[in-house]
Chains A and B, each alone.
Chain A
């Protein structure tokens, strides 16, 4: 016990005397939490549109002002031909082209129908289909308006009409930040856990100081615990800072109890620190350790369901998400913060992550050798 306390004292001194680490620990959550949630927003607004108007009629003007008034579109260019509008798209200055053909108004009034052409830059498929759908619904609306000016609509509409009433649970304002922030907190805790642990032990290897520890009577488990405990505490501190920031800046208050979050994080951190330890036992240089942790983190985070939904992944990728501790913590975080789930709702995830912790740490302890 006394040996362990000395080791802990040493680790804490090392950490607190290295200003970069401290800066990283405190700056990272703040920067990431202040920037990421704003960037990660898929809701489309400000779509740049270039209109090629061959008609120049009151109707075409009204349509254009209706489009710009919707708030989704910005009229980037108003050209005389499709070619000119296409050049806007090629230069990446516009995403959408609306072509209003000649005598659009005349045809609509005299012939009862008129065509309109939309061309979308579809390199980003999701963005393109959303943008086109918005524009089509605005045109539909415009169409209904025109129709209402010319004919009297009967009281009972002659067509069948199914009304779709949609409502949103748990995040009624559809604020994307409520969804992203809990996920980003997980990202932070994970980054601190793996990078700091793995590079810390390898640094001792590189500097040769591990040799000194190896020749002392310090036991294997004491050494490993001495490394784990400080980073475990730091991880919890980062989580607490992160929760504080999300409360102050985004007004996100967890619906569920903080005990559940910290309780789960305590177990989760053990698993992640175990991963860091494991990486460090297999690496000889910091460069290797960082690159390997980066590589694994990238896969874990991309496949952890932070940005895209796991349900829409193919089967093999879903299998990977099952052996990915990050997935479970993101899931639990969102359940607790947004839906107020309690310990009983997350007990399965807790058990699985505990399994990871035992497995990874066990492996790390077994493969750590006191001689090189």
Chain B
């Protein structure tokens, strides 16, 4: 046991003396929370649009006024002809052009019908869709206002309730995702690289001929990263509660327990990678391409899994982060107990045992 602790101590010195690495390991979650929390949003605000108003009457002025007031759009310029539309788009600044035909108001009041044309730059389909939807909603609003609220017969009143996140804050969905990403990175990538490093610089040879059990050496390597991960979990949770105002609705103990389980799974994966590689670069790329990208892409936190084609959906089931993401969402935000997540917990525990068993089995006590 004493041997083991002196090994753990050695690993701590390795990490503590490398200030740059330390700083990044502990600063990463903070930077990520700030970027995701404040900079990245799928909402579209202040989109630059152009207006081609051939009619310039009461109705068009009122609609343009409302478009301006909504905060979603910045009217960059008023254009006067069809040719200008093309040049405006080519320059890449304008996201949408709104075209009012001649006699818009007249048509509306005489025939009860008038047409607005929205031309969106669909090179980004998301933005195009969102903008068209926003503008349509504003126009419909105007239409409703001028219609004298005719009470139509046979009306269904739909009432919509937003559960868990009534303000529709983006933070609610990415805090769990950032947790999964950071833990995966710190644990898997760092363990894999440090072990590969010992192999590359030749010090592994020295360790393997010492009387310490090889397994102990490897586990001692994982201990500091487990501790760093726990600190990171703490800082992410503190930041999300006090800076982003995301509440922890469920049991904190359960949340931390699940995070530690996920950390252990990631560490086991890191060990597995390190036992099949012997250069830092390979370890790094396996961790990056094989694990980090799937974590970002297929855990459901950046992109909805339901939309993906079935091979990817199937594959997403073996990504540990997907299950962890579900657990954190369920416990932290929905605030329900263990009875709703036992399946996911069991799956993670199973994965951990599997990876650990596999890495012990493939661990070589002799270098080639």
Contacts and interface: CB of A to CB of B under 8 A. Distances in A.
A35 B40 contact: no
A20 interface: yes
Contacts of A117: 158-159, 161
Interface stretch (A37-45, A226-234, A356-364): A37-45
Interface residues of A, number: 111
Contacts of A335: 92
Contact of B153 (A150, A159, A166): A150
B164 A122 contact: yes
Interface in A109-147: 109, 112-129, 132-133, 136, 139-140, 142-143, 146-147
Contacts of B124: 179, 309, 334
B41 interface: yes
Contacts of A136: 158, 160
A73 to B, nearest CB: 11
A296 to B, nearest CB: 10
Interface in A142-198: 142-143, 146-147, 150-151, 156-172, 174-176, 178-179, 195
Contacts of A113: 154-157
Contacts of A288: 18, 20-21
Interface string B47-75: 11000000000000000000000000000
Contact of B90 (A132, A159, A339): A339
A171 B147 CA distance: 35
Nearest to B48: A311
B126 A176 contact: yes
Contact of A287 (B89, B127, B197): B197
Contact of B117 (A139, A160, A167, A308): A167
A106 to B, nearest CB: 12
A312 interface: yes
B163 A43 contact: no
Interface string B96-121: 00000000000011011111111111
B160 A21 contact: no
A90 interface: yes
B266 to A, nearest CB: 16
B83 interface: no
Interface in B129-153: 129, 132-133, 135-136, 139-140, 142-143, 146-147, 150, 152-153
Contacts of B147: 159-160
Interface stretch (B253-261, B327-335, B351-359): B327-335
Interface of B: 18, 20-21, 24-25, 28, 31-32, 35-36, 38-48, 89-92, 95, 108-109, 111-129, 132-133, 135-136, 139-140, 142-143, 146-147, 150, 152-170, 172-173, 185, 193-194, 197, 200-201, 279-282, 284-285, 288-289, 293, 297-298, 302-304, 306-309, 312, 326, 329-330, 333-334, 336, 340
Interface in A327-358: 331, 334-335, 338-339, 341, 345
Interface stretch (A6-14, A212-220, A238-246, A299-307): A299-307
A284 to B, nearest CB: 9
B158 A116 contact: yes
Given A143-B155, A288-B21, A308-B42, A39 B123 contact: no
B319 to A, nearest CB: 11
A295 interface: yes
A91 B303 CA distance: 20
B156 A164 contact: no
A43 B116 contact: no
B122 A126 contact: no
A38 B308 contact: yes
Contact of B159 (A27, A89, A116): A116
17 contacts: A20-B281, A21-B281, A35-B312, A42-B307, A123-B172, A132-B160, A143-B155, A147-B153, A159-B150, A161-B112, A174-B129, A179-B123, A291-B21, A291-B24, A311-B44, A311-B45, A341-B90
A313 interface: yes
A179 B298 contact: no
A25 to B, nearest CB: 10
A313 to B, nearest CB: 5
A286 interface: yes
Contact of B154 (A150, A160, A314): A150
Contacts of A283: 20
Contacts, number: 335
Contacts of B279: 20
Nearest to B25: A291
B165 A125 contact: yes
A32 interface: yes
Given A116-B157, A309-B127, A162 B143 contact: yes
A5 interface: no
B154 A40 contact: no
Contact of B280 (A123, A133, A290, A294): A290
B24 A311 contact: no
B146 A160 contact: yes
A206 interface: yes
Given A109-B154, A170-B122, A287-B197, A345 B90 contact: yes
A249 to B, nearest CB: 13
Nearest to B86: A169
B281 A157 contact: no
B159 A313 contact: no
A32 B293 CA distance: 9
A299 B125 CA distance: 24
Contacts of B312: 35, 38-39
Contacts of A266: none
A3 interface: no
Contacts of A20: 279, 281-282, 285
Nearest to A176: B125
A37 to B, nearest CB: 11
A46 to B, nearest CB: 4
Given A143-B155, A170-B123, A162 B297 contact: no
Nearest to B332: A123
Nearest to B161: A119
Contacts of A312: 41, 43-47
A303 B40 CA distance: 8
Contacts of A158: 112, 150
Contacts of A307: 40, 302
B165 A123 contact: yes
Interface in A36-74: 36, 38-48
Nearest to B168: A125
Contacts of A129: 168
A199 interface: yes
A225 interface: no
